[in-house]
Chains A and B, each alone.
Chain A
Amino acid sequence: MPVVAIKDYKGEVKDKVENFHGNQLVYLHWEDHLSFCAPLAFPLPPEMPFGAILGEILPTYYGMHPDWENVDLAEARWTLDDEDFQPDPEKSLKDLGVGHKSVLRFWTPGLKGYRGSQS
């Protein structure tokens, strides 16, 4: 039963993609760096090239971490919605299969947070 209700009831889908003015939600998470308390949420255009995530979004929002200067994104390992993922900076989010509310997690080899604490 999708909901216990007194009559047939349809909930309003508050976060359908149409509500985001042409954007879709994408969640990014840098593994082993939990000083960032949670994955980050962004409204991004589906046509945006993945390179904008690599070149603009990640440095802007993760760049203050002392590990960031040692990050080599070419070496990073990625998953997209729990599947292994090879990002292509030239391709758009849409073409890479990054959908509304997709989760992108990345691991940067050798970097395990402040003094190796996963923070």
Chain B
Amino acid sequence: MKKQSPNLEAEGTQPDYVRELLEAGRNDAAGRGYNVEAGLARHLAQVQAGAPLPPWAHELVAGSGGAAAAAAGVTATKLATGKIVAGVVLAVITAGTIAAVVIGAPENSGHVAPPPASPRIEAPVAPLGAGQAPSADEAAAGQADDPVELEIAPITSSRPKRSGHAATQAEREAEVEAKPSPSRAHSAKTIDALIEAVGKQGGSSTRPASQGHVDLVAPSAATERAGAQADQTTSPTSEPSERVEQTSRTPAPAPVVDDSRLEREMGMLAVAQKVLKSDPERALRLARQGEQEFAGSMFTQERQQVLLLALIELGRISEAKRLALPYLKRYPNGPFSDRLRSALAAAKPEN
């Protein structure tokens, strides 16, 4: 039995019993046991009979804005844009309400002026999007400015109604948005800038990102220090005096997973995944940088899979196979292992 790490978030140190539970779920025949033919026959009969939608689905279908848009999924980019626009709208409405109260109060001698009539927002998204063409990376990080049909009502009301999945999701996203992370607003939008910064930081580390080989290994002290340095140099919350204090502490404490650091790691991984097919060289570079800076983090397994898939995309099959051996040995039933095996099996041999 492997020794269990006290760090519960570290993917690489996941206890055996947790791994066994997940493997049991992956191998469970629950889905395979479903009678597809019988189910399909019933489905076709229901379609033909014009069966009514379940109540929970009315909102989904009505809000789809057309079959094609719904079929492609309400994309992350659209939702993100919705939040941005809704935020602006909310700010305007709030300001208007405050102004009405302030201006109206003296005249009404104690009576609070009523808030302006609930505005009917017609999703004025076009001006916001003008001149802000999103990059592919911003789109990947959910920050693109696509026009969107907004669910304005729940956002502008004082408290979203707790009905159905949409309300719950909105609440959860509001929680995420409300996280006290000063860098949050910038992090997703400036992923490229962050990556640049990481690249520069990587230049001073013990393993340059451009080196010809990749090690899929546990975190080293050097990489952890590099990550800690990057945090210190990029975190807008660190005052100079704090930084001096941090650097003077010895010995260096284990790196703490803070939000900005996690956001940067997730942003890099998301971009790497996004460009895996279109720009595998970049995906490989990002994955390597991630391995340098965040080695042993909870996204190690996923990032290493991206790295290996990027090598396959680049036709570096023998290198991918060599590196895949320890990966598949470590994660024989990992969530990404089957995909990797399939990609390796389908890869054309190198010339």
Instruction: Please determine whether chains A and B interact with each other in the same assembly.
Output: no
Interfacial residues, chain B to chain A (CB-CB below 8 A): none
